[in-house]
């Protein structure tokens, strides 16, 4: 077992941030060699910090001010003056793994979208949002994991989209209660599902045959995105991209659980146990797929 970084250091800060999140990403990081694990952990901590601004700050103007601070912090960090421990932990790896200020600013822009926009007209609009909050994250991650082929970037973006769609399916009820509906408006209309149905707070909540059909449509698209992503991954990079494959398998397993449960996502949040996530990651590490 790898020793923990010393308490009070930037490395320990980002480790604790990643570990406490309970995210599936953390289980994939465990199989990386130390330098790459340190880099992805720091990058993930940065993403969590920015995302937490939107999720935990209830006054939009305060959240915008905090995100502006993060934009300035990115500029300061790339000028050699990182102040936040997440940036202090990340910057030593930026040059090695091609992490650019533009990548970090894109993540901030994606999170800021949540402050200005809580509905998406169609899938094209949702896909643009996913590019910022998931595709760019996948691009940085694949570089840290060890990318040698240009096409691997396309794989990472498609995988990021698939995982973001899985998150949206899992969190439909939770997001709606926060005032956000990521399911495209034109698709809600196509399946005759009303926004107010997603907000019901008591049984039978907003479940219906119409809702199930809508969610089945969403899940089928997410599954196609996983297949498309895997088809894009060049054989030359398959070994180095194992952490991404671990995350894909964890998320696809989660999506399968949601499907088998009949898309009961309005009143509860489906999740996998830490032990199951670790088992999936370990199995992927051994099999390489």
For the residues of the chain, what is the DSSP string, one character each?
Answer: -PPPPPTTSHHHHHHHHHHHHT-HHHHHHTTS-HHHHHHHHHHHHHHHHHHHHHHH--SHHHHHHHHHHHHHHHHHHHTT---SHHHHHHHHHHHHHT--HHHHHHHHHHHHHHHH-S--SSHHHHHHHHIIIIIHHHHHHHHHH---STHHHHHHHHHHHHHHHHHHHHTHHHHHHTT---S-HHHHHHTT--HHHHT--STTTT--HHHHHHHHHHHHHHHHHHHHHHHHS-GGGTTTTHHHHHHHHHHHHHHHHHHHTT---SS------HHHHHHHHHHHHHH--
How high is the pLDDT of residue 237?
97
How high is the pLDDT of residue 1?
47
- Count Cβ atoms within 10 A of the Cβ of residue 62 and give its class: 0-12 exposed, 13-18 middle, 19 or more buried: exposed
Q: State the pTM of this model.
A: 0.94
pLDDT along the chain (289 residues), means of 10: 81 90 79 94 95 89 96 98 97 97 97 91 97 96 96 98 97 92 97 93 90 98 98 96 95 97 95 93 89
Q: How far apart are the first and last CA of the chain?
A: 24
Let me know: does 92 contact 82? Beta carbons within 8 Å: no
């Amino acid at each position: 077992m790898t020793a923990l970084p010393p308490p009070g250091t930037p490395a320990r800060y980002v480790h604790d941030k990643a570990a406490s999140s309970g995210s599936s990403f953390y289980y994939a990081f465990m199989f990386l060699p130390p330098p790459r694990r340190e880099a992805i952990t720091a990058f993930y901590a940065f993403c969590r910090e920015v995302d937490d601004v939107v999720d935990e700050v209830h006054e939009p103007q305060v959240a915008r001010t905090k995100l502006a601070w993060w934009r300035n912090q990115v500029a300061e960090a790339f000028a050699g003056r990182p102040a936040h421990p997440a940036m202090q932990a990340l910057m030593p790896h930026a040059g090695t793994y091609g992490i650019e200020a533009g990548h970090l600013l894109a993540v901030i822009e994606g999170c800021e979208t949540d402050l200005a926009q809580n509905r998406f007209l169609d899938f094209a609009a949702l896909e643009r949002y996913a590019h910022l909050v998931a595709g760019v994250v996948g691009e940085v991650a694949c570089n840290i994991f060890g990318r040698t082929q240009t096409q691997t970037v396309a794989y990472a973006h498609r995988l990021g989209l698939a995982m973001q769609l899985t998150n949206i399916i899992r969190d439909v009820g939770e997001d709606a209660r926060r005032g956000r509906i990521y399911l495209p408006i034109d698709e809600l209309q196509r399946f005759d599902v009303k926004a107010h149905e997603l907000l019901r707070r008591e049984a039978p909540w907003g479940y219906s045959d119409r809702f199930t059909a809508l969610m089945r449509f969403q899940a089928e698209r997410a599954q196609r995105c996983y297949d498309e992503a895997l088809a894009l991954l060049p054989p030359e990079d398959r070994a180095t991209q194992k952490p991404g494959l671990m995350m894909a398998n964890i998320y696809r397993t989660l999506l399968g659980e949601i499907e088998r449960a009949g898309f009961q996502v309005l009143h509860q949040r489906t999740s996998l146990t830490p032990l199951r996530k670790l088992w999936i990651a370990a199995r992927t590490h051994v099999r390489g797929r």
